[in-house]
Chains A and B, each alone.
Chain A
Amino acid sequence: MDVLMLSRLQFAVATYFHFLFVPLTLGLSILLAIMETRYVITKDIGYQRMAKFWGKIFLINFVIGIVTGITLEFQFGTNWARYSKFVGDIFGSLLAIEATVAFFLESTFIVVWALGWKRLSPKAHALTIWLVAIASNLSALWIIIANSWMQHPVGFVIRNGRAELTDFLAVITQKFAILAVLHTVGAAYVLSSFLVMGISAYHILKKQHTSFFIRSFRMALNMALIFSLFVVAEGDLHGAHLADTQPSKLAALESHWETTDHAPFYLFLIPDAEHEHNLLQFGRIPSALSLLIFHDPNGVVPGLKDFPKVNRPPVALTFFSFRFMVALGFLFILLTGLCWLKRNRLESSPGLLKIIMYSIPLPYIACALGWTVSEVGRQPWIVYGIMRTSQAVSPIATCQVAISFAGFILVYSFLGLVAFSLMVKQAKKGPEPFTSDTI
């Protein structure tokens, strides 16, 4: 393997791992903030107990998100030096803004929150978790804006052998970025609420701390219902926009070969990139693909054959990732819908609770598939249409990257394992009992 392949794999490992932890930070911080706000308003100590219990899981998760984020920022320099040199004027400044505007805020106040239960008034304490929640979400906003620029570069000229910024507002307000931010953050809220619902289901099934966990469950259910609907509805807006911005990705998502209007949708198909067709396809619904993407049967769906082979992304991986992500998206609506119907008799629905408990990993998988669609679907470009991934890699020795890649796998597997088992341990333990001294 060469430096390029190793660096790609290493970056993939580092991002997938990082994004196992980020979504829960984004969503659970908001749930915690709501719990504490309710405590301030209602003076009901139960809400504070909730914030404390979920807060412990939050903190373990948070620290891994932080430390794995640092390696990502630095990898642009270590492994993607030519990319960094080419796009630093735009991409680098977005990362720097993220650090100054958001990352400082969340990292500084998370500790005040963690240690502040006794030292701060309930109001001030609720304020600190709101700061953490807002800063984390702002952080995501800037990172996704930066990523969106790689997907659909705007507001720049090629000058002095690099991309130079000409229109900052265009970069931060482009439609691609807005859609991507909403989609990613919405998915993070689904993931967080499913985790809270899943852990609550475990305890309700065991008939322990039942009222505590029914309350937690219902609170998360509201979030899950709103955002699983939101993510799918909002995801629908991406299709027509992709036709304008990333036609080769759109074609790969659907494994669509010939540019046509009235494009049919196949319920099942297997792409065969080498022979430029689908090995198998059945369940044809006429014009459905055009309808799905453009809400218009006359919509022209770009085909992969429009692009020279060297400019096509890996079709099968992009296609299957997309299909499974969408299927999961609908499954989340179904599951939350069922929970909503049974929300007042959760204890008497053990089957549903069990399904919810085992569904905890599903939004994680959906997020990873989403990033696969986004990043693999962009290939062979690192900046769509402007710079190839193969031109972006650092001029460094292979053995260095091989060693660091092995290091990432070892260290991250270990960290993942420890964090996972500690979170499970914390989750199973349940909330602290009511005493006057546990505050």
Chain B
Amino acid sequence: MLETIWFALWGFLWAIYFALDGFDLGVGTIMPFLAKNEADKRIMYSAQYPYWDGNEVWLIAAGGVTFAAFPTTYAVLFSSFYSALMLILFALIFRAVSFEFRDKIDNPAWRRCWDIAMIGGSFLPALLLGVAFANIFRGIPIDGEGIYHGNILTLLNPYGLAGGILFLVLFCLHGSLWLTIKAEGELHQRATVLAKKMWLVLVIVAGLFLLATGFFTQLYQNYLKSPIFFIIPLATVASLLLIRVFIKKEAWWKAWSASSGTIVGVTLFGVVGLYPNLLPSSMDPSYSLTIFNSASSPLTLKIMLGVALVFVPIIIIYQAWVYNFFKDKVREHDVAYEEHY
């Protein structure tokens, strides 16, 4: 029971991380398509600046919880995905420092370098996180000792790549919707147009991904066993459709919320299908890491559950306060000061 609760929390933490960091990774990725001048770029930086750090801690928390609750999975998963993870980490480093470094020297070439860091540092994690999760859904070649028989190219299989593209599109849509909230005037218009296009692309990619999931993974077995869970993919699809409805109504916060719901739904769809596996083995199902063979001791799980039940709600409250505190649109005079204040 404890293991199952932690499995649910584990999925929940990753889902929150994707829904939150998803929009700033998205804003970074679409910057070259939306920013026509320096002022636009500044708005696109400022639209993420108050949030990126708090959002990224959900990644640390999701990683930390994997370590604490399912150490064996943490060990096998992270060492198997070695090169992909290193790429994600380096990308996130470059992305993060570009917020602090970019405006410290008044020189267009300097700024352009950090713009590239921002774009690459957003694009790569968006893609690779999708690749990683699709491979978790599909299973990877690990043996009974938890040794991975493959390399980074093994992860770039068709289903893995499909997952990568799905995440990329999800995040780009999520990011453009965030910009419709944060930007005014022409930039807002361009973000709206892009959001509409991205939504169409997403419908196609998501449809293909759901189909491919039937071919490449065992995820649907859990759903066929307990059809009640079909409510998750159905709610996800409903959420996806709602995005378009809200875009049409120009209800931007609602459209963004629906897009957050879609990301959470996609993640939970995979997680529920995975249960009780955390990392299926494509070599032999008996090698798969499950919540039973890789969980921490009951004492640790209990203590950690206490910590999570107390602190996660507190975190959500103060982060919600911060989101509310910075809820206004980014205006040019806000970004006119050197380094934001």
Contacts and interface: CB of A to CB of B under 8 A. Distances in A.
Interface of A: 56, 59-60, 63-64, 66-71, 73-74, 76-79, 81-82, 84-85, 87-93, 95-101, 103-105, 107-112, 114-115, 117-119, 159, 162, 164-166, 168, 394-397, 400-401, 403-404, 407, 411, 415, 418-419, 422, 425-426
Given A64-B97, A74-B85, A89-B297, 12 more contacts: A68-B93, A85-B72, A92-B69, A96-B65, A107-B57, A108-B57, A111-B322, A159-B297, A162-B71, A164-B297, A394-B82, A425-B105
Contacts of B341: 114-115, 117-118
A237 B94 CA distance: 42
Contacts of B54: 104, 107-108, 111
Contacts of B148: 395-396
Contact of B340 (A64, A67, A89, A115): A115
B215 interface: no
Contacts of A99: 57, 60-61, 64
Nearest to B70: A88
Interface stretch (B200-208, B231-239, B298-306): B298-306
Interface stretch (B36-44, B190-198, B312-320): B312-320
A156 to B, nearest CB: 10
Interface of B: 49-51, 53-54, 56-57, 59-61, 63-72, 74-79, 81-83, 85-86, 89-90, 92-94, 96-97, 99-101, 104-105, 145-148, 151, 296-297, 299-300, 303-304, 307-308, 311-312, 315, 318-319, 322, 325-326, 339-341
Given A85-B72, A93-B300, A108-B54, A395 B145 contact: yes
A89 B71 contact: yes
Main secondary structure, interface of A, reads helix
Given A74-B89, A115-B326, A165-B300, A100 B315 contact: yes
B78 A422 contact: no
Nearest to A82: B75
Nearest to A107: B53
Contact of A78 (B71, B85, B105, B322): B85
B75 A67 contact: no
A209 to B, nearest CB: 19
A411 B64 contact: no
Contacts of A90: 300
Contacts of B100: 59-60, 63
23 contacts: A64-B97, A67-B92, A77-B63, A77-B66, A77-B85, A81-B146, A85-B75, A93-B68, A95-B68, A99-B60, A99-B64, A107-B56, A107-B57, A108-B53, A108-B319, A108-B322, A111-B322, A118-B341, A165-B297, A165-B303, A411-B90, A418-B101, A425-B105
A70 B56 contact: yes
B267 to A, nearest CB: 19
A104 B74 contact: no
B75 A93 contact: no
A245 B134 CA distance: 46
Contacts of B83: 400, 403-404
B95 to A, nearest CB: 9
Contact of B57 (A76, A85, A103): A103
Nearest to A69: B60
A68 B64 CA distance: 15
